[in-house]
Chains A and B, each alone.
Chain A
């Protein structure tokens, strides 16, 4: 059972200066699964994602990637296999779009330059930006920048992709293009954990919705089930609120 888990998060805890933000979180992800993480602001969603690749090292608990434990000593190699998409893109500003998608392949995985270029071009096509290869990030719209950052993560051929509110920094009219790329990835069989308030995405693409509050997972299940009949009052209230606003 645990063997075929791509991502296995076990009892992760994290405190900031005495404030316990994650109070024992566990969940697993099989190959090709997409799980959407929702919860009120401050519930610890970002912290959880950042604990998975040790951008914020967890205090307790264990994380396994395809059966191999993520540890401080193998962290760079593990991060190369965990794609991370940030809310504010964080594209490398001094590099062209193509080089943004190439650089980690070359420097981290040691991929040959021409192979990396070809792969980069391929991933840019996949997110619909094949014609922007020579542009600089500052010359792109937010939606385009976010799609490049998805291509950058994909080019590393990651076991799993983590998205932390990928559309929250975008103007409303630009969220669609990013959501569509994510939906395509989900249906292409990418393994992903997505923190988002885009409930249309959750409905269509999520295999499971995980509801977090106060550092705990308080409910999880297929989105249809949670949307129609969440067992927990607070889950229901929260889903109603974002359903109205999104």
Chain B
């Protein structure tokens, strides 16, 4: 225990230097993934046949292959056809594209769970399809999706650690580096795990606060 604390005092400041990059990677990817996910969901639920198929193929492709393979493909594969990204950008793109596929499916499930009559009533009073989606369907679907979306957000937060494999200097990469210098992998990865745990539980409680704040009686997942 004393060892653990002593190790922490010595190396925690260095490990924490990885937090901003981990959070930046996560925030950017989850936000862009959310926007792309909404578009994919729109295409699949409301789009014409072409939009539906493009969206479906995209979603199946990204959910059916490992994120690590996607990241390697973007960072190491694409340069062969002349498309080069730095490691951080490649990691953002990989996590964004992957997360979008999952978010799209959660959004879709949520939109489909809004009772049909809501759309009908909105159209019946003269709203256009777009207005009905914007003012009636989306606010309800977004409220209903928060629990699942929180899970997805937290999974992606943990997935930022694989950016280490392409050389992004985030928490895991720093831990690996400290480990090889001190040869105390046991301590360093306990500390790294602890940092992730603090981050994920903070995010979880933040999102459950959002869920409570936006709660409306009668608009729930079950």
Among residues of A, the one whose C-beta sits closest to the C-beta of B216 is A94
* Per-position binary interface string of chain B over residues 193-222, scored 1 when its CB falls under 8 Å from any chain A CB and 0 otherwise: 000000000000000000000001111000
Say whether B117 faces chain A, with CB atoms less than 8 Å apart.
Answer: yes
Asked if A93 and B218 sit within 8 Å, CB to CB, the answer is yes
One digit per residue, 1 when the CB lies within 8 angstroms of any chain B CB and 0 when it does not, for chain A 118-159 equals 000000000000000000111100000000010011001000
Contact, CB under 8 Å: B124 / A53: yes
Residue interface bits B93-124, CB-to-A below 8 A is 1, else 0:
00000000000000000000001011011111
Chain B 37-57 against A: per-residue CB contact (8 Å), 1 yes, 0 no? Answer: 000000000000000000000
Would you call B124 and A55 a contact (CB within 8 A)? yes
Residue pair B117, A90 in contact (C-beta under 8 Å)? yes
Decide: A79 and B125 in contact? CB cutoff 8 A.
yes
Give Cα A174 to B211, complex, Å. Answer: 34
Complex contact B126–A76 (CB within 8 A): yes
- Contact of B77 with A by CB under 8 A: no
Interface residues of B in 123-139 (CB under 8 A from A): 123-128, 131, 135-136, 139
Which residue on chain B has the smallest CB distance to residue A106?
Answer: B135
Minimum distance in angstroms from B189 CB to a CB of chain A? 44
Bound together, the chains give a CA A93 to CA B143 distance in angstroms of 11
B124 touches A136 (CB 8 A): no
- A200 and B158 CA atoms in complex are apart in Å by 65
How long is the Cα–Cα vector from A103 to B118 in the complex, in angstroms?
A: 13
A86-B117, A107-B131, A136-B216 known; A94+B140 contact, CB < 8 A? yes
Asked whether A156 lies within 8 Å of B126 as measured between CB atoms, the reply is yes
CB–CB B122/A92 < 8 A: yes
* Interface membership of A71, Cβ < 8 A: no
**Cβ contacts under 8 Å, A156 to chain B:** 125-126
Q: Is the beta-carbon distance between A80 and B117 smaller than 8 angstroms?
A: no
The answer to whether A94 and B219 touch (CB under 8 A), given A86-B117, A107-B135, is yes
Query: Inside 8 A of B122's CB, which chain A residues have their CB?
Result: 92
Q: Count of chain B residues with Cβ under 8 Å from any Cβ of A?
A: 22
Contact of A92 among B123, B128, B136 (CB under 8 A): B136
**Chain B residue, CB-CB nearest to A91:** B121
CA of A76 to CA of B121, assembled, Å? 12
Interface residue from A94, A108, A136 paired with B125 (Cβ < 8 Å)? A108
Is the CB of A5 closer than 8 A to any CB of chain B?
Answer: no
| Shortest beta-carbon distance from B107 to chain A in Å | 16
Q: Which residues of B contact A107 (CB under 8 A)?
A: 127, 131, 135
Range, interface on chain A? 20 to 34
A76 and B117 in contact (CB under 8 A), knowing A92-B136, A138-B218, A139-B217?
no
List, in ascending order, chain A residues with CB within 8 A of B143's CB: 94
Task: List A contacts of B127 (CB < 8 A).
Answer: 76, 104, 107-108
| Contact, CB under 8 Å: A93 / B131 | no
CA gap between A152 and B124 in the complex, in Å: 11
How long is the Cα–Cα vector from A83 to B124 in the complex, in angstroms? 8
Which residue of the partner chain, among A80, A88, A136, A149, contacts B126 with CB atoms under 8 Å?
A80
Set of chain B residues within 8 Å of A88, measured between Cβ atoms: 117
A163 close to B (CB within 8 Å): no
The minimal Cβ–Cβ distance linking A54 to chain B, given in whole angstroms, is 9
- Does the CB pair A93–B216 fall under 8 Å? yes
Q: Shortest distance in angstroms between B197's beta carbon and chain A's nearest beta carbon?
A: 34
Cβ-defined partner of A108 (8 Å) among B120, B121, B126, B139? B126
- Across the two chains, which residue of chain A brings its CB closest to B214? A94
Q: Is the CB of A92 within 8 A of B118?
A: yes
How distant is A150 from chain B, measured CB to nearest CB, in Å? 13
Residue in A76, A82, A137 whose CB lies within 8 Å of B218:
A137
Q: Are A79 and B124 in contact (CB under 8 A)?
A: yes
Closest to A78 in B: B126
- A77 / chain B contacts, CB cutoff of 8 Å: 126
Question: Ordered nearest first, which 7 A-B pairs have the shortest CB separation?
Answer: A138-B218, A80-B126, A90-B121, A90-B117, A104-B125, A108-B126, A79-B126
13 new A-B contacts, CB < 8 A, other than A92-B118, A93-B216, are A79-B123, A79-B126, A81-B126, A84-B121, A86-B117, A86-B120, A103-B135, A108-B125, A109-B126, A139-B217, A149-B121, A153-B125, A156-B126
Q: Name 11 interchain pairs, CB-CB below 8 A, sorted by A.
A: A55-B123, A55-B124, A86-B117, A93-B216, A94-B139, A107-B127, A108-B126, A109-B126, A136-B218, A149-B121, A156-B126
